[in-house]
């Protein structure tokens, strides 16, 4: 039931605030002001790809935050993905507000291929009221493959945190970007580009229900967009689409656990656990 090849055609990394730990084969530079554009690089070879990323803004220009509270924990999802490619200990991340949107617009993609995107941000300041909502805009809603490195669910979708069901669409995820030293990742797999070869990932301040903190707190006016991202291209192998992966679940030994998955296909679907 695989929907793309297991080995990517290429992988690319981008560092918003590059430092000594940034790979020379990673693209680098701020993506905060409308029109800022970078050609993505093949992390394995350093060669330029056809894929390009451009910052788009709405409602104003996002703030730039130079200071941050250090890198995410070793062995966290963010560390495992970005270590050696992006310097997550260096300062620099964009701020977003309820009405100030920051979009990463990817162009030059192949509509016949499938893509995986992962984004990371951490202010590292114990700001439990600063939550971001990230939205995938593509020809499908992708497969939600977000990585939760926290013990208190600092990243969630409408499917994994039911109180947010009316606040989040199927192509959205909320993240406690005000801290996230746990290194949780926003990720979608099986992304189908638009017919023009574009995919967009939008970031705004989230105002809905949360497992902890208060996203709509009057004393909070902003959250954060991505300081690092990963994009990979795969060959497509079928028409099956998983639109929501089973969420992580911890239960005591010997008790029952219930998992659910949402998929669509023009052909009959068989599930095997």
Residues of the chain scoring pLDDT < 70: 1-5, 238-251, 263-273
* Separation of CA 135 from chain center: 9
Phi then psi for 81, rounded to 5 degrees? -80, -45
Candidates 26, 23, 25, 22; CA nearest to 13 is: 26
What pLDDT, on a 0 to 100 scale, did the predictor assign at position 238? 67
Tell me the sheet residues that pair with 136: 201
Enumerate the domain spans of the chain.
10-264
Q: What confidence score (pLDDT) does residue 146 get?
A: 98
Q: Starting from the edge strand earliest in sequence, which strands make up the sheet with 37-41, in order?
A: 37-41, 48-58, 101-107, 199-205, 132-137, 172-175, 155-156
- For 217-231, how does the pLDDT look when each residue is reduced to its tens digit (9 = 90+)? 999 999 999 999 999
Q: What is the pLDDT of residue 239?
A: 64
Q: What is the pLDDT of residue 260?
A: 73
């Amino acid at each position: 039931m695989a929907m793309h090849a297991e080995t990517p055609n290429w992988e690319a990394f981008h560092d918003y605030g590059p430092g000594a730990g940034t790979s020379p084969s990673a693209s680098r530079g701020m993506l905060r002001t409308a029109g800022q554009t970078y050609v993505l690089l093949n992390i394995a070879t350093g060669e330029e790809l056809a894929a390009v990323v451009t910052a788009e803004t709405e409602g104003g220009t996002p703030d730039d935050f130079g200071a941050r509270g250090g890198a995410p924990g070793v062995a966290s999802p963010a560390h495992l993905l970005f270590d050696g490619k992006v310097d997550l200990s260096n300062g620099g991340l964009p701020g977003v507000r309820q009405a100030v949107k920051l979009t990463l617009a990817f162009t030059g993609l192949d509509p016949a291929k499938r893509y995986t995107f992962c984004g990371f941000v951490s202010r590292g300041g114990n700001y439990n009221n600063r939550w971001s909502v990230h939205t995938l805009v593509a020809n499908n809603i992708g497969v939600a493959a977000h990585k939760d490195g926290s013990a208190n669910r600092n990243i969630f979708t409408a499917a994994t945190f039911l109180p947010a069901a009316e606040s989040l669409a199927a192509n959205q995820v909320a993240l406690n970007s005000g801290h996230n030293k746990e290194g949780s990742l926003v990720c979608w797999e099986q992304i189908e580009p638009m017919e023009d070869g574009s995919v967009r990932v939008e970031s705004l301040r989230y105002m809905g229900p949360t497992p902890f903190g208060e996203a709509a707190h009057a004393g909070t006016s902003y959250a954060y967009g991505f300081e690092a991202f990963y994009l990979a291209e795969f060959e497509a192998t079928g028409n099956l689409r998983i639109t929501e992966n089973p969420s992580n679940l911890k239960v005591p030994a010997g008790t029952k656990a219930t998992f659910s998955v949402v998929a669509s296909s023009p052909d009959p679907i068989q599930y095997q656990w």
